[in-house]
Amino acid sequence: MQIVFNGESVQLTAQCDLLELLERKLGETHASLENVVVAVNQDFVHRQDYADFKVSEGDNIEMLSAVVGG
């Protein structure tokens, strides 16, 4: 299944929910799940819905985190 995650094309080998995908992606960064917001196809998804939200072919997923400092 092909999706776009933060502007990059990503090939997923199996169906997954949004929580699984985010946990994989967060493992590659220093962000935590509590400090990000996620939009799928330009619609924000509430954190409590991540586990129930199934990622679909062609989804465009943006994960945003706050940057602190000056």
Q: Which CATH number fits domain 2-65: 1.10.1200.10, 3.20.20.100, 3.10.20.30, 3.40.50.300?
A: 3.10.20.30
Per-residue model confidence (pLDDT) at position 35: 87
Parse the chain into domains and list their residue ranges.
Answer: 2-65
Give the C-alpha distances (Å, rounded to integers) separating 66 from 2, 25, 30, 38, 40: 27, 16, 12, 12, 18
The 10s digit of each residue's pLDDT in 9-65 is 999 999 999 999 999 998 877 778 888 999 999 999 999 999 999 999 999 999 998
- Higher-confidence residue of 57 and 69: namely 57
Per-residue model confidence (pLDDT) at position 70: 61
Tokens representing 41 are: 């196809």
